[in-house]
Structure 1
Amino acid sequence: MRIRPDTSGFQPDGDASWVDPSTGDRMSAHFFDLVPSLPAGLDDVPRLRYELAVQTAEVGGLVEAFVVTLDGVPALLQVVKLPLPDRPGQVFVASVTVPKAESSVVLKLIAFEGSMTGAREAALLSDTISETGSPDAFYSPHPYAPGTQPKLPWHRGDDPRLDQRFPDHPLSRARRWLRHVLATAKLDPAFGALPAFGSPVSVAIGLPIGPFLPLWTVNEQMTFWRLQDADAVRALLGRGGTDRRPVTDTEGCEAGWLYPANGVLVLSPGLPPVPVTPVSDETAYTSLTSEEIVAAFDWIGELSVAAGERAEMLLVRTASTADGADKHVLMALQVHDGDRANPSCVVETSPIPAGAQFWDTLPPLPTPDTAGFARVRDEDHARTDGRLTMWAVQTWDVHPFRLMLSYKPNPDLR
């Protein structure tokens, strides 16, 4: 385990999970082999707290967040309150996250209210009325994000100075557990020595669709990022000005450096930095429209034209070996009889896109498991390349987000 908590008083309850038999509180340890999706770096506490409060407001409320040290390594402490889904009451989720440049570990405690709910709040509300003559002072604007309206508002009962008065309340138990964790939990030394969160991460550029951009780390892990100006980013990609990462000896994909804590993607020292915001996989996958997917492939067709003008071939391929590394569409210009002024437009794909629109009408190529189409270059060059590519890709059973564009020299034009 990359993080080892003190499990005294807890009983095993599954893999890296424990339960306190006296309270029912559940502790668990987690490792995430992904770039952390924290909205700010640990060195920017005001922004970090604000963004976390905004994110949590839709489902419950952020009670508190602090930057702390666990086993000598910077970490994020959080307490969140959520409504119970199946009965009255609340659950308090306390966590300590140790983020690194490309991964993180989390220790978490889930503490439920019992059958008697709201006792802490009721007692303090009564105190408030006695002291002020009104219940209004019980609730306060959120201390980190005053303009938000959390589903569970911040109130007097969230104050840690009241834990001693209500020692058995789940919020008091959660804070007591956090203090114990910070004093006793140990990190695996190899994990503790990894580059800190906020260090730049080398990423390969996925296929931007709508406002979302997937980024791939060197170990083929994908994260999603929302673009502030998606059209401006698409205007930077595929034009030969970005950095590249080798795919083979002669082929490379566009790449860059992600600064996750700052929300910045650098495509090249000569290009403007790209502001990005982390989003969940679910948000990216469920927010797309069919029109945005079609527009992405029309854009790919435009890039095939630009690649030809640079004497390069453009390939659309699966980004992960898990999706089949041999699946690709190649778009290129081909010279016949030395007539470089009038090259043909060629689109080849493997595997053969059985059942795909248009592709089913073509005879097979001599090359096994490959289909291709060549035509005279015309003003509809870009749209034709894009649509042929889309129809082929649709037979791969691979979501377009799991694709990548790459480039290699075109010997016919060199």
Structure 2
Amino acid sequence: MESISLPEDLWTLRIEKPGQKVWSNAQGDARSLNFFNVVPDLAANLIPENLHILRNDFRSKIPAGEGGLVSLDLVNIQNISALQIIIKVRIEQIRGFMYAGSCLIPRADFSHVIRFECIERSPTGLREAMVMMVNKQFTGNLETGKIIGWNRDPYDPAFDETAMYNFADEEIHDAQFPDHPLTRVRQHMRTLSQSIVFDPLVLKSKPFQKK
């Protein structure tokens, strides 16, 4: 666990056990650092040509009707290849969503995952309502009751029918909703890339290669 360091000035350590540390901040967001001492179980190597394979694999792991893929991208952090993934998960109790952003850092025989979780607070759905109010191009389907073109998969229209990602989730709306949990997750992910510190052992370790 000591092979990766994260800034703690805005975070309070809540849980520390072998392989995991968990923090929270003043907004109620959670951050965890997880270590897995096994060969990473990824569908493909982390190269641009494999993005569709990786996106399809992670999309398939999200239970239908319970959540959806927001984004999955390759990033390079201090010459270390990593995956940044954001998903949204429905929480029926609040009639809203939890947004989770994960940075997966796979090496040849181990991996680290830094995960942020931000939960929508009451009243929920304000971002969606306000974005829809000023974007009049969206109309309802009288047969299905669904809003045409509102929900869409961020990468593949073949998955639009079951997608939970919608137009209001687009990053262009974040500036208008700085306190929204999706905006906060994206900001946490950006800050992580700039502030994470790797131990030399990680920097010198062999990169992940799918066998």
Separation in 2 of the partners of 1:133 and 1:85?
26
Separation in 2 of the partners of 1:152 and 1:88?
17
Separation in 2 of the partners of 1:40 and 1:32?
18
- Give the C-alpha shift of residue 191 in structure 1: 2.0
TM-score by length of 2: 0.86
Deviations 1:237-266 (A, max 9, x none): xxxxxxxxxxxxxxxxxxxxxx0xxxxxxx
Partner residue, 1:302: none
Does the 8 Å CA contact 2:94/2:122 hold for their aligned counterparts? no
Separation in 2 of the partners of 1:17 and 1:132?
41
Relative contact order higher in (CA < 8 Å, ≥ 6 apart): 2
- Give the C-alpha shift of residue 170 in structure 1: 0.1
Moved over 3 A (4+): 131-135, 149-152
Tell me the matched-pair count.
Answer: 197
- Give the C-alpha shift of residue 9 in structure 1: 1.2
Partner residue, 2:24: 19
Separation in 2 of the partners of 1:160 and 1:57?
24
Does the 8 Å CA contact 1:67/1:74 hold for their aligned counterparts? yes
Partner residue, 2:109: 102
- Compared CA separation, residues 191 and 150, structure 1 to 2 (3 A): farther
Q: Of 68, 76, 80, which aligns to 2:83?
A: 76
1:147 has 2:158 as partner: yes
Deviations 1:12-36 (A, max 9, x none): 1121211112x10001100001111
Q: Of 43, 49, 55, which aligns to 2:61?
A: 55
Which amino acid in the other structure matches residue 87 of structure 2?
V
Partner residue, 1:204: none
- Give the C-alpha shift of residue 42 in structure 1: 0.7
Deviations 1:270-317 (A, max 9, x none): xxxxxxxxxxxxxxxxxxxxxxxxxxxxxxxxxxxxxxxxxxxxxxxx
Separation in 2 of the partners of 1:7 and 1:151?
38
Separation in 1 of the partners of 2:123 and 2:4?
34
Does the 8 Å CA contact 1:56/1:150 hold for their aligned counterparts? no
Can you give the 5+ residue segments of structure 2 that lack an aligned partner in the other structure? 141-146
Separation in 1 of the partners of 2:58 and 2:187?
22
Q: Of 190, 193, 210, which aligns to 2:201?
A: 190
Partner residue, 1:32: 36
Q: Which has the larger radius of gyration?
A: 1
Does the 8 Å CA contact 1:65/1:77 hold for their aligned counterparts? yes
Partner residue, 1:166: 177
Which amino acid in the other structure matches residue 51 of structure 1?
D
User: Which secondary structure does the structure 2 equivalent of 1:56 belong to?
Assistant: coil
Separation in 2 of the partners of 1:31 and 1:118?
35
Separation in 2 of the partners of 1:131 and 1:151?
21
TM-score by length of 1: 0.45
Does the 8 Å CA contact 2:151/2:160 hold for their aligned counterparts? no
Separation in 2 of the partners of 1:57 and 1:158?
19
Does the 8 Å CA contact 1:57/1:152 hold for their aligned counterparts? no
Separation in 2 of the partners of 1:145 and 1:54?
13
Separation in 2 of the partners of 1:71 and 1:145?
30
